Amino acid sequence: MMKALLKVENLSAHYIVKEGTIKAANNINLEIAENSVTAVVGESASGKSTLIEAITMSLPPNGRISSGKVFYKDNDILKSDYEHLRKIRWTEIAYVPQAAQQSLNPTMKVIDHFVDTVKSHNIKWSNHEIRERASELLKLVRLEPGTVLDSFPNQLSGGMKQRVLIALALLFDPKILILDEPTSALDVITQAHIVKLLKEIKKNRDITIIFITHDIAIAAELADYIVVIYGGHVIEKADTIKIFKEPKHPYTKGLINSIMSILSKDDEPKGIKGDPPSLLNPPPGCKFHPRCQFASEICKKEVPDLIKLDDSSKVACFLYKSAGGDVDE
Amino acid sequence: MKFILNRLIYLLFVLFIAISGIFFLINKMPGDPAYGLAVSISQQRNMDINKALEIAHQMMGIDTGEPLFIRYVKFLNQFIRGNIGYSTYYQTTVNEIVAKSLPWTLLVVFISILISFIIGVYLGAFSAQKRGRAVDISISFVSSIIQAIPPFVLAVLILFVGAIKLRIIPLGGAYPVDMEPSLSMDFIISVIKHAIGPIVAISIPQIAVWTLAMRGNTPQIMEEDYIRFAMIRGVKDSTIARKYIRNNAILPLVASLAIAFGYMLGGNTLVESIFNYPGIGFYFGKAIALRDYGLLTGLFSLIVVGVIIATFLAEIIYSLIDPRVKVK
Ligand SMILES: Nc1ncnc2c1ncn2[C@@H]1O[C@H](COP(=O)(O)OP(=O)(O)O)[C@@H](O)[C@H]1O
Ligand code: SF4
Ligand SMILES: [Mg+2]
């Protein structure tokens, strides 16, 4: 693995609600290599967005980070003051959140979103230069700059808005591009378009991409690494090829099997039985144990650590022993 | 376009109903429409009241034998042609009274709304930004009290302090009687001096109203995705406050602005009367006091038409600035 650009250590975050706390990200450990593409997968409400929001310090008002560190270029982002954070946002780390349909200001033209972003970062581009740059980026995402730049958001379709956001995210050539479900809520053709676009961006730029998806096929197509989230825990992380050939965690196995069976048009898809865990009152031990056919006594009591295996993939399951016997790294 | 056309047809329908309603309401009011005039005739001429009534009826062109429905058709017919009635007291058409009084009302209403809207929006946005802190709590507390003060109470206060105690504003009128209306500086200054009392009396509660409305709108806007996305892009707080929060929170208020304008056309009767300010409201007050039914019907219709048209405009404005309305 190349040098880690982003390193997440023991990160936990929760939401405060009337009924108690929703433990949506628990003791997360992750390393993101420079210029790699990582897909974060998992069923909905498993804590994918929460993880990204915690990393980028953009949790909603009732979200709290309870512990952990996030190192970007050896600085702990979580400890930085607001002004420092504001400065690295977008110039170094660009994050396009989920539900991007309402992410543009309805009272502002598209071009003004570019202008505001440039001015806020004290970059000395003239309005003309900003327009040039914006046009170049819009062309990259296959939008017609002449019409789109002077449109208001409501004049654009969902797919166009999503592409505007991606163009906006590339404004300062960020080191890290984070996309939360960039293709969901779009029609199939637009989806394919965005996947293709991301492939081009990946090929042509020095950029580290992290994207969330619940479409494992898209993950397979784009990602170098796949991180699987279940019940607010990272339960597996491995090379894309390895994870498809040889999934380790029983949940990942179920996930891969279920799409393989769709692909092979098997008569009965082998979906995973049972319901996803409640994050308000999560089960003790391994969050997957109520649905796991291999569950043993220890699984019901203790949370398995994420351990590194001989083939350098990582898994959090008691069925595996770590390489050389040491836990994690 | 279709949306506007639909609203337009609806508007005409509402106008018709409203004007008819006013006609029947006023003509069914207890008392004889000519009674006021008759009383003054009988006093002036030292005449028997019944005799005076007869004369008054003749003067007003009221044929007491004429059925109400025929009078209604005549009224509508005249109204559509733009003749909104005849004032028995001033012995002139209501149109003429409107022509000389409406500009003063528009002046006062326009300036009051402008001032109170701008100040209110700023105060409300500021207050919302400091939500929960001492400034916010004081602003909203003071605003909720001030918005409940009737403008006429302020008018009495301002007149007493400004005109009687300090003698810095005139006692009444729109400009000094000995002055010829012109575009000279002197005239303009004296117009402003005369208008300032009504403007202040109307604006103070209005500022509080806009402040509270703006403050109430803002938190909802702050939860919108585009605010969050602007923060994620590292957009400066001051820019977010101005272009993202304030501009969006103003949207619903722009519609209320048109409605407020309509209501204020006739809503300042007491203020104009107290300041003896010769606007629509002043004559409206006179019409009630003098039982000048023609003037009353005409002005009342005009005010209602104003409110209805303003509401219509508000809807159109709202659909233009907020495309989501059109979709519905
Ligand atoms: N603002 C919030 N307040 C309370 N609970 C939340 C909030 N946002 C998300 N959650 C809950 O946290 C869990 C994880 O959500 P999320 O990270 O959005 O999942 P995913 O992105 O995988 O769909 C879910 O149970 C969700 O209901
Ligand atoms: S830890 Fe136990 S329950 Fe969890 S996935 Fe592994 S075997 Fe199943
Ligand atoms: Mg999500």
* Rounded mean pLDDT, A23-40: 95
Strands A93-96 and A20-33: unpaired
Residue B328's pLDDT is what? 35
Backbone torsion region of residue B174, taken as left when φ is above 0, otherwise alpha when ψ lies between -120 and 50, otherwise beta: alpha
Residue B322's pLDDT is what? 63
- Residues 6 or more apart whose CB falls under 8 angstroms from that of A312 comprise A1, A238, A323
**Residue A183 and residue B85: Cα distance in Å, rounded?**
66
The helix, strand and coil proportions of chain B, stated in percent and rounded to the nearest 5, come to 75, 0, 20
Q: Amino acid letter at B220? A: Q
CA angle (A53, A175, A14) in 5-degree steps: 10
Across all residues in chain B, what is the average pLDDT?
A: 85
**Residue A217 and residue A224: Cα distance in Å, rounded?**
13
- In chain B, how many H helices and how many E strands? 15, 2
Q: Amino acid letter at A269? A: P
Give the ligand 2 atom nearest the CA of A292: 8
**Mutual angle of helices B49-60 and B35-45, in 10-degree steps:** 120
In chain A, where the domains are located: 4-92+174-315, 100-173
Considering only the beta carbons, identify the residue of A86, A103, A152 that sits closest to B225.
A103
Tell me which of A192-206, B37-51, B139-153 is least confident. B37-51
Q: Tell me how far the alpha carbon of residue A277 is from its chain's centroid.
A: 20
What is the complex's ipTM, to 2 decimals? 0.88
Q: Is A289 in the pocket of ligand 2 (CB under 6 A)?
A: yes
* Rounded mean pLDDT, A9-23: 95
Q: Calculate what percentage of chain B has a pLDDT beyond 70.
A: 94
Q: Which residue has the tokens 């008392």?
A: B31
- A327, pLDDT greater than 60: no
**8 Å CB contact of A102 and B224:** yes
Residue B230's pLDDT is what? 95
Tell me which of A85-99, A105-119, A191-205, A209-223 is least confident. A191-205
CA-nearest residue for atom 6, ligand 1, is A15
Residues of chain A with Cβ-Cβ distance to B233 below 8 Å are 89-90, 94, 113, 116-117, 120, 168
* Rounded mean pLDDT, A16-45: 94
Confidence of residue B63 (pLDDT cuts 50, 70, 90): low
CA of A217 to the centre of ligand 3 (A): 17
Q: Could you give the 3-state DSSP secondary structure of residue B67?
A: coil
Q: Which residue has the tokens 């018709």?
A: B16
* Rounded mean pLDDT, A54-68: 93
Reading the block at residue A4, the tokens are 């880690």
Residue A328's pLDDT is what? 46
Q: Measure in Å the smallest separation between the Cα of B248 and chain A Cα atoms.
A: 7
The helix, strand and coil proportions of chain A, stated in percent and rounded to the nearest 5, come to 35, 25, 40
**Residue B4 and residue B15: Cα distance in Å, rounded?**
16
Strands A63-72 and A4-17: antiparallel
Q: Is A318 in the pocket of ligand 2 (CB under 6 A)?
A: yes
- Give me the architecture of the A4-92+174-315 domain, per CATH: 3-Layer(aba) Sandwich (3.40)
**Residue A95 and residue A34: Cα distance in Å, rounded?**
16
Residue B82's pLDDT is what? 84
- B326, pLDDT greater than 60: no
* Rounded mean pLDDT, B156-179: 82
φ, ψ (nearest 5 deg) of residue A174 = -65, 155
Residue A127's pLDDT is what? 95
Helices (H), B130-183: 134-146, 151-158
What are the residues of chain A with a beta carbon less than 8 Å away from any beta carbon of chain B? Answer: 56, 58, 86-91, 94-95, 97, 99-108, 112-113, 116-117, 119-121, 152, 154, 165, 168
Q: Which residue has the tokens 């990942």?
A: A252
**Homologous superfamily in CATH for domain B104-282:** MetI-like (1.10.3720.10)
Distances (CA, A) of A72 to A8, A63, A228, B37: 9, 21, 22, 88
Give the residue among A187, A179, A164, A168 at the shortest CA–CA distance from A91. A168
Residue B188's pLDDT is what? 86
Reading the block at residue A14, the tokens are 């929760």
Ligand nearest to the CA of A182: 3
- B47, pLDDT greater than 50: yes
Residue B44's pLDDT is what? 80
Dump pLDDT digits (tens) for B115-142.
Answer: 999 999 999 988 988 888 999 999 999 9
**Residue A283 and residue A293: Cα distance in Å, rounded?**
16
CA of A202 to the centre of ligand 1 (A): 29
| Mutate which: A116, A156, A172, vs B, most B CBs within 10 A | A116
Q: Could you give the 3-state DSSP secondary structure of residue A236?
A: strand
Residue with the bigger pLDDT between A260 and A11: it is A11
Confidence of residue B283 (pLDDT cuts 50, 70, 90): very high
Dump pLDDT digits (tens) for B193-211.
Answer: 889 999 999 999 999 999 9
Strands A208-213 and A225-230: unpaired
Q: Amino acid letter at A15? A: Y
* Rounded mean pLDDT, B167-188: 79
Q: Are A41 and A219 in contact (CB under 8 A)?
A: yes
Confidence of residue B24 (pLDDT cuts 50, 70, 90): confident
φ, ψ (nearest 5 deg) of residue A75 = -105, 140
**Residue A89 and residue A174: Cα distance in Å, rounded?**
9
Residue A203's pLDDT is what? 87
Residues of chain B with Cβ-Cβ distance to A86 below 8 Å are 234, 236
Residue with the bigger pLDDT between B209 and A325: it is B209
Tell me which of A33-42, A257-266, B175-184, B312-321 is least confident. A257-266
Residue A265's pLDDT is what? 58
Dump pLDDT digits (tens) for A112-154.
Answer: 999 999 999 999 999 999 999 999 999 988 899 999 999 999 8
**Residue B274 and residue B142: Cα distance in Å, rounded?**
26
- B327, pLDDT greater than 60: no
* Rounded mean pLDDT, A71-79: 90
**Residue A13 and residue A22: Cα distance in Å, rounded?**
9
Residues of chain B with Cβ-Cβ distance to A106 below 8 Å are 226, 248, 322-323
Tell me which of A180-189, A317-326, B261-270 is least confident. A317-326
